[in-house]
Amino acid sequence: MQGGAASTASALYSPSAVRTPSLQQLSQSAAKFNLDIDEAELKQYQDVIKEALVSYDRVDKMTEPIPAVKWPRTPGWRPDPEDNPHNAWYFRTEITGASTGKLHGKTVAIKDNVAVAGVPMMNGSRIMEGYVPDYDATIVTRILDAGGSIKGKSSCEDLCLSGDSFTSVTGPVLNAHDRTRSAGGSSSGSATLLALEQVDMATGGDQGGSIRIPAAWSGVVGLKPTYGLVPYTGCVPVDITLDHVGPMARTVDDVALMLEVIAGYDNGLDPRQPANLTVPEYTKQLTGDLGGIRVGLLKEGFGTSHIYNVINEGCLETMIKGNGLGVGWKGFYPTSMLDALAKGYRTRAHDMPPTGKFTYLLYDCITTNYGNRFYAKGQNLSRMLTHAYNQALSRYDVIIMPTIPFKATKLPNKDISTSEICKMALNFGQMSNVCPFNLTGHPALSINAGFSQGLPVGMMIVGRHFDDATVLKVAHAFENIRDSKI
């Protein structure tokens, strides 16, 4: 009976998943590739294409696997302005994880570029407005499995395309130390909530410094882990070669604890265990007595920023042309997110931030005229940069530098021009120290080194690939030295 029912159902009408392209559409597609095909030949291709589309119908009727949502929750609520004076929360929730675990008793904010099932997700942008994921990002599941309590989604910059904190459509995120200044972006809400002590830990995303910039300007700890150490599954990508997600907290201990959970470490990751350095060597490194290190490609000033700028062309292929996910990588593709982004870019393109429109215009013109040649050359140069830093790190356990060359800047007034928005949000002077390690994939941590005229100053510690533990140990040693002088 079951086989007969299935056979009967297959013989009945069912709407096709995709429509057969018209001859006019095929002609337009041919023109894009400079193909001159007459109508008679196009009709032959149309017949073959119609047969190929059967596969699309079959795949559409299959049930795709979606990660199970393990922990119950309600959709949460959008906080009232009086309960959110710094605009650091996008959405509030109360999601309780396991009753025991490494994060039991810890409160966590999730950056709003990370999917939490059943909770609205906006990525700081009207492009995704109204989207509610049906799955948890891998790191969310791991946080809840470890007993963490998720208190909400933290605000982030519009499409995460800003190192400043004024582009989110829900309003500018105000610096916890001076409400007239930027909190840094794009993980602006996470850093501010930590500085205000509203949560113990938070997640951040980092494509060009977006964990470390707000950590520096907000006076907290933020780690961009080694590339690939923490799964990015369920987070909105920018370019898969630049995308990182990592922990933020007020202390190195809590950053280490969160990294242990979201990276899936089986063994403990205790930054209090000393690295293979003596105390005098620690002190020597942490007080700058080693002198400056020159990395070959840095000798032309912001040379790495130029490489980063060219590789950022991947944003166009992933975010806009790739409808937010891109292709060519193994793993879970959240199709509901793809549909939301595709619809948003198609129907609300004018709602993209100026940084998004700049990205589209620049890289569409470049790829139309030159293909992906410059992107490819930038990726090749980034390999040289990686080798240069590996050489430096073969001589030293870590490299230490300012996270950002200047303190938190003033937030702009509402009469700011489009060009000023782009220049402030994509300030390569601001990104000059941080973006190289998105290119090279080295672990890089920002920690508060003190205050200048009431504003935090960040220090960045960079280590060898997959030696995040040493970075954390050096940061912990510095934290002890710093706090002993207070």
What are the Cα distances from residue 403, in Å, to 64, 210, 425, 426? Answer: 43, 11, 17, 16
25 HSE (CA, 13 A, CB side): 6
The span from the CA of 475 to the CA of 459, in Å, is: 9
The owner of tokens 């140069």 is: 381
CA angle, residues 403, 405, 408, in degrees to nearest 5: 85
What are the Cα distances from residue 268, in Å, to 101, 162, 383, 480? Answer: 13, 35, 32, 20
Neighbours of 408 (CB within 10 A): 25
Instruction: Give the DSSP H/E element, type plus range, for residue 26.
Output: helix 23-32
Point out the residues that are catalytic: 111, 186, 210
- DSSP-based three-state secondary structure for 205: strand
The span from the CA of 430 to the CA of 84, in Å, is: 27
DSSP string, 47-62: HHHHHHHHHHHHHHHS
CB of 444 within 8 A of CB of 458?
no
Q: Of all residues in the chain, what percent are helix, strand and coil, respectively (each to 5)?
A: 40, 15, 45
Per-residue tokens: 41: 């030949």
Specify the DSSP class assigned to residue 142: H
Instruction: Give the DSSP H/E element, type plus range, for residue 390.
Output: helix 373-395
DSSP string, 264-327: T-SS---TTS--SS-HHHHHHHHTTTT-----GGGTTSSHHHHHHHHHTTHHIIIIITTTTT-S
